[in-house]
Amino acid sequence: MTDLIKLMKAGLTITALVFGGTVFADDNAEPLQLAQLTDGFNAQQKYMASCFACHNSGAGGAPNPNKAEDWTARLEKGMDAVMNNVINGVNAMPAKGLCFDCTNEDLRAIVDYMVATSRGQ
């Protein structure tokens, strides 16, 4: 099992633990369902195919996954803000980074991959 798959499974486990105990105001409400990645999705491969050119070079201010300092200010704003920028586009980055076959969950997996890489994980 690759380190990326282990990391993704750990992230999903943590998410399940965090949201698994969520209390709803309405006792009849359905519990939160975790989002699913596209079958066979590989964040590292999709990063290399769709994101590498800009993010590795820093084109248009794209944060480099090999530089933790590129991610600090972005992550301080929270992952919701980061994902809003990814999904809708920001500055020179087009919406979804032009990865139109990516679901929002796939995009989050790519961001998680880049952040983990920036931290040497």
Domains parsed from the chain with CATH numbers: 3-11+42-118 (1.10.760.10)
User: Which pLDDT belongs to residue 24?
Assistant: 39
Q: What is the 3 state secondary structure string of 24-39?
A: CCCCCCCCCCCCCCCC
User: Which pLDDT belongs to residue 25?
Assistant: 43
User: Which pLDDT belongs to residue 20?
Assistant: 42
User: Which pLDDT belongs to residue 67?
Assistant: 94
Contact criterion met (CB below 8 Å) for 82 and 75: yes
User: Which pLDDT belongs to residue 37?
Assistant: 75
Contact criterion met (CB below 8 Å) for 109 and 37: yes
Q: Which two tokens stand for residue 79?
A: 């992952």
Taking only the tens of pLDDT, the chain with its 121 residues reads 455 455 445 444 444 433 443 333 444 544 444 456 778 899 999 999 999 999 999 999 999 999 999 999 999 999 999 999 999 999 999 999 989 899 999 999 999 999 999 998 8
CB atoms within 10 A of CB 117: 20
